[in-house]
């Protein structure tokens, strides 16, 4: 995972500064950040930066790539740790962040999933995404989609130059419809209600949030690293109506 891991870290660090601490994510000796950490942790007073390992207010949390706690490799699939429960993170926007002004009644939608071998397991059929967007437009919502060069555009695109811009855009929405991934963690951190298309890859009881509508198609998560028939069937079981009902329940 990418951005989602760092957003989950911000949930673990919540409140540290108020206790006089900062959280060091690493192995107890070295702070280990990933490629997106700097962006996600920007302005966050609860998190220590690489190089601050020996500061007096450091509290270690052994959460880093290869040691995330919510899963471990089972060879060709993830073995999920059902004792792990993610908590909403937090994002600290500052003067240097882009601001968007979208008006009310905005639904943020993103049909694209990152291009990884497990991508087919996370992809809800595009024709259904389109149908959902059309139905909601007819119902009077303003549907927006981040425009960053993703392969499929199904609604008005609004330019975002990086994930942080995407989060700033998401923050303006009344609610969001998202695949399981970085953006659903962002929605939870920003307090944006969301309908999340989980399907059969990841269990919502581990990586989902209570205040979201999490759709699995009734599947038990398999974690398969590559295209999986069970996951395709799980996605196929999630109907347009399920998503529209989720939107209704979110409001």
Where do contacts with Zn ion occur on this chain (CB under 5 A)? 200, 222, 224, 228, 230-231
The least CB distance from residue 223 to Zn ion, in Å, is 8
CB 232 within 8 A of CB 121: yes
The least CB distance from residue 240 to Zn ion, in Å, is 22
Interior angle at CA 124, CA 118 and CA 126, nearest 5? 115
The least CB distance from residue 200 to Zn ion, in Å, is 4
Among 167, 2, 163, residue whose Cα is nearest residue 68: 2
Nearer to Zn ion among residue 216 and residue 224 (C-beta): 224
Helix (H) or strand (E) holding 177: strand 175-179
The least CB distance from residue 118 to Zn ion, in Å, is 9
CB 109 within 8 A of CB 176: yes
Using the 8-state DSSP alphabet, how is residue 169 labeled? H
The least CB distance from residue 245 to Zn ion, in Å, is 24
The least CB distance from residue 150 to Zn ion, in Å, is 23
Helices in the chain by DSSP H: which ranges? 3-13, 37-41, 119-122, 126-138, 163-171, 182-190, 204-207, 229-237, 240-250
Alpha-carbon span 138 to 142, nearest angstrom: 9
Nearer to Zn ion among residue 207 and residue 231 (C-beta): 231
Half-sphere exposure in the Cβ direction for 17 (13 Å, CA): 9
Nearer to Zn ion among residue 49 and residue 230 (C-beta): 230
Half-sphere exposure in the Cβ direction for 120 (13 Å, CA): 11
Nearer to Zn ion among residue 100 and residue 225 (C-beta): 225
- Beta bridge partner(s), residue 190: none
Nearer to Zn ion among residue 62 and residue 82 (C-beta): 82
Nearer to Zn ion among residue 136 and residue 228 (C-beta): 228
């Amino acid at each position: 995972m990418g951005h989602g891991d760092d957003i989950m870290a911000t949930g673990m660090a919540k409140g540290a500064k108020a206790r006089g601490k900062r959280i060091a994510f690493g192995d107890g000796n070295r702070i280990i950040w990933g490629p997106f950490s700097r962006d996600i942790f920007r302005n966050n007073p609860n998190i220590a930066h690489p190089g601050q390992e020996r500061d007096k207010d450091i509290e270690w949390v052994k959460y880093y790539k290869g040691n995330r706690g919510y899963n471990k490799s089972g060879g060709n699939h993830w073995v999920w740790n059902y004792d792990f429960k993610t908590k909403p993170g937090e994002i600290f926007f500052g003067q240097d962040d882009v601001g968007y002004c979208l008006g009310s009644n905005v639904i943020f939608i993103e049909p694209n999933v990152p291009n990884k071998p497990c991508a087919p397991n996370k992809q809800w059929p595009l024709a259904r995404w389109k149908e959902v967007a059309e139905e909601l437009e007819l119902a009077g919502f303003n549907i927006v989609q981040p425009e960053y060069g993703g392969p499929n555009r199904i609604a008005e695109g609004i330019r975002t130059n990086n994930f942080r811009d995407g989060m700033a855009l998401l923050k303006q929405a009344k609610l969001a419809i998202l695949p399981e991934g970085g953006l659903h963690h962002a929605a939870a951190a920003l307090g944006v209600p969301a309908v999340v298309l989980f399907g059969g890859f990841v269990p919502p009881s581990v990586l989902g949030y209570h205040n979201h509508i999490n759709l699995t198609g009734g599947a038990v998560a398999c974690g398969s690293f590559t295209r999986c028939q069970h996951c395709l069937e799980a996605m196929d079981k999630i109907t347009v109506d399920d998503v529209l009902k989720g939107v209704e329940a979110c409001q």
